[in-house]
Amino acid sequence: MTKLNKVTVSSLTELNDFTKSLVPTLKPGTICLLYAEMGAGKTTFVNSFMTHLGVDTVSSPTYTLVNEYHSSPPVYHIDLYRLESDHAVDSFDLDYYFSQTRYIFFVEWSERLSHIDFPHLAISITRENENRLITITNKGL
Ligand SMILES: Nc1ncnc2c1ncn2[C@@H]1O[C@H](COP(=O)(O)OP(=O)(O)OP(=O)(O)O)[C@@H](O)[C@H]1O
Ligand SMILES: [Mg+2]
């Protein structure tokens, strides 16, 4: 387990600079599990990353479980908060998505996953006043 990156961003511009630097790192098949409190900036992080793939997410529905972006590479943005019960989370067929290895994956509310046995990048976002501390850890397993 190696630490990939740790950065503090204090504005959306700085966030955009950071997510841009991740574009070469996030290859097709990469699973990014996001960990953060409510409103810490998970969706904003993914949307920022998407701008570098030429996708304007402003038009995306906000309250969906899965957003699919036909970018290059394509991206699945999954928000587990939309699943009502833990049973629904356990029954949700993440493997169906993860088997499509030409995609990059972002999962919000990864805290809800009860067992994680696949290699992934853990992206944690914590708020410190108006700043966000973003830590990315490679969980190669
Ligand atoms: N790096 C940032 N700099 C400035 N503002 C930010 C940053 N990240 C997020 N925000 C702001 O914080 C608010 C919440 O962000 P966002 O919806 O991305 O959080 P979230 O973690 O996805 O929330 P939820 O837990 O509801 O899914 C938004 O108004 C967003 O503009
Ligand atoms: Mg969100």
Residues 28-67 pLDDT 10s = 999 999 999 999 999 999 999 999 999 998 877 777 899 9
Q: What's the rounded Cα separation, in Å, for the pair 35 and 32?
A: 10
Per-residue model confidence (pLDDT) at position 112:
95
Q: What's the rounded Cα separation, in Å, for the pair 127 and 110?
A: 18
Which is more confidently placed, 48 or 4?
A: 48
Domain contains 6: no
Domain contains 103: yes
What is the atom index within ligand 1 of the atom nearest the CA of 15?
1
Per-residue model confidence (pLDDT) at position 64:
87
Domain contains 9: no
* C-alpha dist (Å) from residue 31 to 16, 25, 96: 20, 12, 13
Per-residue model confidence (pLDDT) at position 109:
96
Per-residue model confidence (pLDDT) at position 5:
85
What is the atom index within ligand 1 of the atom nearest the CA of 40?
21
Confidence grade of residue 4 (pLDDT, cut at 50, 70, 90): low
Domain contains 48: yes
Domain of 37 in residue numbering reads as 16-128
- Quick: pLDDT tens for 81-122: 989 899 999 999 999 999 999 999 999 999 999 889 999 999
Domain contains 135: no
Q: For position 68, which CATH number holds?
A: 3.40.50.300
CA of 82 from ligand 2 middle (Å) equals 10
Domain contains 52: yes
Domain contains 2: no
Confidence grade of residue 135 (pLDDT, cut at 50, 70, 90): very high
Per-residue model confidence (pLDDT) at position 1:
43
Per-residue model confidence (pLDDT) at position 123:
98
- Total of domains in the chain: 1
What is the atom index within ligand 1 of the atom nearest the CA of 79?
27
CA of 89 from ligand 1 middle (Å) equals 23
Q: What's the rounded Cα separation, in Å, for the pair 52 and 120?
A: 21
Domain contains 59: yes
